[in-house]
Amino acid sequence: MSFNPKKCYVLQTTHKTRNRIIRPYFLHSTKLELKEDNLGVELDSKLNWNHHITSKINKTSQQLNFVRRNLYRCPQDVKQHAYIALVRPHLEYGSSVWHPHWKKDIKRIEMVQHRAARYVTKNYNHQPGSMTAIIRSLN
């Protein structure tokens, strides 16, 4: 595989806020540009994902509310396709990088998915085991 140096950038992550050492990186004898943004994947000063997960949950909730407002009378399969196409990509963006490993983060993400599943199936039953049945019915 060959990389195009004009499309490649350097992303430097460090705990230091001052006196950072910035070294030049080269690809095929072309100096790579240093980028400050990281394609929407956000880290805080302690290299935690809390801010990223919070922003993704907020964006996903906004998209889910948009779908709920506009598709409330549609059949289940339309709602399910809308969730898969419009909502879930916001929740999963960059997940291969920030894959949650804290239980609190996993629970926050699953709560959004549970709200979406309840909306799609119109099943707002909160009895124990009902969420498992809802998820199973949606595959």
Instruction: Tell the residue number behind the tokens 């950038």, with chain if given.
Output: 9
Quick: pLDDT tens for 66-98. Answer: 999 999 899 999 999 999 999 999 888 777 666
The alpha helices in the chain, defined as continuous H runs, are 50-70, 76-82, 88-92, 95-98, 103-121, 130-138
Distance CA 60, CA 83 (A): 10
DSSP assigned state of 5: G
Inform me whether the pLDDT recorded for 39 exceeds 70.
no
Name the 3-class secondary structure at 31.
strand
Inform me whether the pLDDT recorded for 17 exceeds 70.
no
Backbone φ and ψ for 27, nearest 5 degrees, come out as -135, 120
